[in-house]
Structure 1
């Protein structure tokens, strides 16, 4: 026998009248045979259990583990150990499969293991609604405003492009043992459906430029049988759902994800579905139409269900603003299965599916055993957070003026109507167009056209009106900032090409300034005298330091036409509102894409250079904002503009953060959004003169949501554990045939499993005893929050 735990069998088997098979005799001695036909090699149960646990915890591959055993047997290489890697792999595959069947209880089925249904061996999420397991008999009659939310299923659609598989073996040579009994969908039906729909083209994104949508046909698949893995998970508790996993052939195509989605829904009969997907705004458009091409067993009667779509917060900042308000949702990330990529990419198709099935089951089980602590921690965090949210809501109510008291009731009706029916007006959206520099320029151009039509327009230059003059001045100011940044970034070892480009930009800017100054002096004659005074000082003026003498700069020294000051104020006001957010969204999107998809020095260097460019643009945008605010402060007294200061705060370095960024020490529940995302004009203009009505409505709605968001599924978990314990008791109470030893073993294992689930129930029940009263009170009586 070898010392590493894999043995060449050299035993004397029993051949008496009561003797069992050689396989059973080996198993009774805790030896697992490599084959069921005249076994010559076996491994100890202890060895297989050791590898099984190490593969879960350290993601060690079978090859690495086997080599470690080889070196442990002979670390000098003087007595080579016989190669038994293939036999070890056979035993591991069978060991995983038998463990899955045993723990799922299907050997207790009177009809045998072969009667196991698709997904029947998956470890279910105890906190998700499971009709017949953890829901009351009258769950369909639950009040929409009371506990119906508790009976809704939250699922998230995602893809992992690290879990590739090379073109190794094929299904006929390496079939799966589980027959889609776990988390993978059935192979033949899935591939047949893809072949039948291979000619369907993918619609391009009309939101942001989502790579998952627009690049499905450009991803490299050379040498790969699978470019990644698609999956449907429980969004709240991050557990894999039954028959929801499948290989992706080339990118994240809708047809692949549609199949997984409808496969998931075959295992649930709940009436409320909350679906989270990073590209849901595009995917949902033709979802129900595409469903008609699926087999009848996979089609959903969506007309009788309440289906709500969300974009996870992780991806939300990369979407356009309408998506950010329509699809807002909290998200749990992909399970910790990515480290398995290296050890599964060279497996055959069947071994890979069975291995990943095993890992998904282990992940789900770890989540279940940890629910007691994680749910308790969430409730403990929720208690102080809820108090803070209530205080914030009270502050908002106290801040409402007398004329807004009627609006409070109206806002509550609006938000409740939208929660009940998402087709109603979204109370979190502003109602008019957003403030942008382009929209203000369009307004000014329309005003010029109106004055021309009325004959009141006095044009001193054929091609340049006053609004065009001031707008062009702001553009020249921006070009001056860029030139200063380019010169500052040259460094002491700049090449001739780099210096040449900067000189060309400087010359071009100087020509534009000269042409603009000639027109400016027609409309603003006083600037000519001011510039003569500056020339007499003898200071050399470069294009980037040339003072343009816009109305905000002239107003401090000489009187200026009020018309020019109003035009400049409107342009600077729009510029201040439109300066940082787009670049921050771009930065967030690049960071998330880099973290999720890019590996290798070349790709990361390219992404780093892109981020460096975005950082430069953000810095320039912050300078532009500060310059605009200074101009507004100067111009406001001349044109008597008031009430704008609260929306344009002083800009500190810590304020420059993306919508999803966290400051040091913050968590998602405690995160405070930077004021630049809540400023008036961040989403749109105002309904009333100073915007306070619409701002107050949106902030009130946000405070209301924050105050009622902490709701947990404690009762569902306890009821599920109780159901599982009773199910195992029923298995133990069956009338089993066979030998007394076999019956005793079946009953003992079933009683053991029932005791384990009752122990989980007891642990959760006692740990949550001090907080369940509060949670029950909160669930049953939201009016205690004044809502």
Structure 2
């Protein structure tokens, strides 16, 4: 019962134990025998036996020629396995036009909530490296032997988690979080693809879990989604040649991408070069599946951070095993739903693309398609999706205008109004946004009395703001003001 409850709701064992005691004696009149520590050891053993059971059952389902995989591969689940088995015919024989069918999509991310307190507990792990966490001894030694490897750097990204990653951790924790790789298509947690973070999100941790997984991966075409892929991918081949000689990246076809939600926070060049939307053979993959799994496992963070190292790994591995099992059960209906949706949308999108293409001259379309094909074949060609225009953000334009006004004030040229010209322009743009939002809200067919009252209040407030803005407009734009009057 506890195993099922904790997989679903992440209830810790102590609360479950107290609830069981209260069920038999809710008034607490008698003094029960305290067996919490015994039950804790039983749960630890049960989780380990379940891992072995799942591994043996899966090995029986895999053909004999695939059983050369190490024990940790017993955690691989059907969706990722399909690509590996299909690729055993040899990557050379796979036609380039259909190679995307056998591609492996990997989503990588770090989580700083899954910490582990340094409680000085000697808690050995049962079956280290058999499931999702990498083998602990080799991993710890590798990180300790290479402490000076460069940490992550941002490329103008606005995500504070990246900029502050190296400051996380300390003596109170033996692990500041975990870094993990999942299947970016079906969100299965990959085997030997989770590792503890000692201090922040460093390349050496991410490199190790990727190398450990790639050692056993039989797929040639691999798409790696990572929120800092733009920087992490630089010098990756040289780092692997130094620290992971067993993995030959030059023999693989690697594509580095940034998840769709994280991409807008990157620079303009990254938004084009690492976009899923501009990459052939990825479909509607968004790369954010790893965030979905974080929402599931984060519920266990408060309890696992108090555990010893071995018990923590066992609890997290067990939760990921339960997650993957539920994914298997729902995979059939999910693939059926996606197939029906893809079939319907393919014809619609094809028609929309043809209609849009027909609005341009044939020669122009031919040139554009040649540019795209050349760039997809060889990245050395100019990127056709990268605009030559230097687009400026609103915040950058605001800063530039404010600086100009400050310089004018220093020269003794005072503004015509207490509201400066830059503030006047920005207020006008904000009023336009409010007008559009109000039009969208007004278009709703059904609404309650409360919603209608709120709508009228917003309309009245907007009219008052426009009236005040018009007063300033008469000073900065007298011609427009007179024509509007």
Q: Same fold (TM over 0.5)?
A: yes
Task: Tell whether the 8 Å contact from 2:115 to 2:305 is kept in structure 1 after alignment.
Answer: yes
Paired position in structure 1 for 2:15: 64
Query: Are residues 1:117 and 2:66 paired?
Result: no
Partner Cα separation in structure 2 for residue 288 and residue 139 of structure 1:
21
1:686-724 deviation per Cα after TM superposition (whole angstroms, max 9, x unaligned): xxxxxxxxxxxxxxxxxxxxxxxxxxxxxxxxxxxxxxx
Task: Tell whether the 8 Å contact from 1:174 to 1:350 is kept in structure 2 after alignment.
Answer: yes
Partner Cα separation in structure 2 for residue 394 and residue 210 of structure 1:
38
Partner Cα separation in structure 1 for residue 52 and residue 34 of structure 2:
30
Partner Cα separation in structure 2 for residue 116 and residue 175 of structure 1:
25
Partner Cα separation in structure 1 for residue 104 and residue 348 of structure 2:
29
Report the CA distance shift for 1:287/1:138 in structure 2 as closer, same or farther (over 3 A): closer
Task: Tell whether the 8 Å contact from 2:169 to 2:198 is kept in structure 1 after alignment.
Answer: no
Partner Cα separation in structure 1 for residue 48 and residue 99 of structure 2:
38
Partner Cα separation in structure 2 for residue 241 and residue 117 of structure 1:
14
- Give the 3-state SS of the residue equivalent to 1:293 in structure 2: helix
Paired position in structure 1 for 2:469: none
Which of the numbers 299, 302, 305 marks the counterpart of 1:342? Answer: 302
Task: Tell whether the 8 Å contact from 2:152 to 2:232 is kept in structure 1 after alignment.
Answer: no
- Give the 3-state SS of the residue equivalent to 2:166 in structure 1: coil
Which of the numbers 219, 222, 230 marks the counterpart of 1:273? Answer: 222
- Give the 3-state SS of the residue equivalent to 2:89 in structure 1: coil
Paired position in structure 2 for 1:543: 417
1:162-208 deviation per Cα after TM superposition (whole angstroms, max 9, x unaligned): 111111244xx211112211011011111111111112343643332
Report the CA distance shift for 1:128/1:237 in structure 2 as closer, same or farther (over 3 A): farther
User: Any unmatched runs of 5+ in structure 2?
Assistant: 61-67, 277-285, 441-485
Query: Are residues 1:434 and 2:390 paired?
Result: yes
Task: Tell whether the 8 Å contact from 2:152 to 2:201 is kept in structure 1 after alignment.
Answer: no
- Per the TM alignment, residue 385 of structure 1 is displaced from its structure 2 partner at its CA by 2.3
Task: Tell whether the 8 Å contact from 1:97 to 1:177 is kept in structure 2 after alignment.
Answer: yes
1:525-559 deviation per Cα after TM superposition (whole angstroms, max 9, x unaligned): xxxxxxxxxxxxxxxxx72369x8xxxxxxxxxxx
Paired position in structure 1 for 2:444: none
- Per the TM alignment, residue 354 of structure 1 is displaced from its structure 2 partner at its CA by 1.0
Report the CA distance shift for 1:136/1:265 in structure 2 as closer, same or farther (over 3 A): closer
Paired position in structure 2 for 1:73: 24
Partner Cα separation in structure 1 for residue 26 and residue 238 of structure 2:
63
Partner Cα separation in structure 2 for residue 437 and residue 161 of structure 1:
31
- Per the TM alignment, residue 426 of structure 1 is displaced from its structure 2 partner at its CA by 2.0
Which aligned pairs between 1:12-411 and structure 2 lie closer than 5 A? 50-105=1-56, 117-127=70-80, 129-131=82-84, 133-135=85-87, 137=89, 140-145=92-97, 147-170=98-121, 173-202=122-151, 204-208=153-157, 210-297=159-246, 299=247, 301-329=248-276, 330-331=286-287, 332-334=289-291, 335=293, 336-400=296-360, 404-411=361-368
Q: Which gives a bigger RCO, structure 1 or 2 (Cα 8 Å, sep 6+)?
A: 2
Partner Cα separation in structure 1 for residue 160 and residue 202 of structure 2:
11
Paired position in structure 1 for 2:472: none
Report the CA distance shift for 1:134/1:108 in structure 2 as closer, same or farther (over 3 A): closer
Report the CA distance shift for 1:654/1:261 in structure 2 as closer, same or farther (over 3 A): farther
- Per the TM alignment, residue 77 of structure 1 is displaced from its structure 2 partner at its CA by 1.2
- Give the 3-state SS of the residue equivalent to 1:230 in structure 2: strand
- Per the TM alignment, residue 138 of structure 1 is displaced from its structure 2 partner at its CA by 5.5
Task: Tell whether the 8 Å contact from 2:108 to 2:290 is kept in structure 1 after alignment.
Answer: no
1:352-401 deviation per Cα after TM superposition (whole angstroms, max 9, x unaligned): 1111111111111111110111112222222332233122212212211x
Partner Cα separation in structure 2 for residue 227 and residue 255 of structure 1:
15
Superposition RMSD on alpha carbons, in Å? 3.5
User: Any unmatched runs of 5+ in structure 1?
Assistant: 1-49, 110-114, 442-470, 480-507, 518-541, 549-574, 576-616, 628-648, 657-787
TM-score (norm 1): 0.49
Task: Tell whether the 8 Å contact from 2:72 to 2:192 is kept in structure 1 after alignment.
Answer: yes
- Per the TM alignment, residue 513 of structure 1 is displaced from its structure 2 partner at its CA by 9.4
Task: Tell whether the 8 Å contact from 2:109 to 2:227 is kept in structure 1 after alignment.
Answer: yes
Partner Cα separation in structure 2 for residue 247 and residue 221 of structure 1:
14
- Per the TM alignment, residue 308 of structure 1 is displaced from its structure 2 partner at its CA by 0.7
Which of the numbers 412, 431, 445 marks the counterpart of 2:369? Answer: 412
Report the CA distance shift for 1:196/1:514 in structure 2 as closer, same or farther (over 3 A): closer
- Per the TM alignment, residue 651 of structure 1 is displaced from its structure 2 partner at its CA by 8.0
- Per the TM alignment, residue 434 of structure 1 is displaced from its structure 2 partner at its CA by 1.4
Number of residue pairs matched by the alignment:
418
Which aligned pairs between 1:283-682 and structure 2 lie closer than 5 A? 283-297=232-246, 299=247, 301-329=248-276, 330-331=286-287, 332-334=289-291, 335=293, 336-400=296-360, 404-430=361-387, 432-436=388-392, 475=401, 515=413, 543-544=417-418, 621=426, 623-624=428-429, 652-653=436-437
TM-score (norm 2): 0.77
Partner Cα separation in structure 2 for residue 410 and residue 219 of structure 1:
50
Paired position in structure 1 for 2:482: none
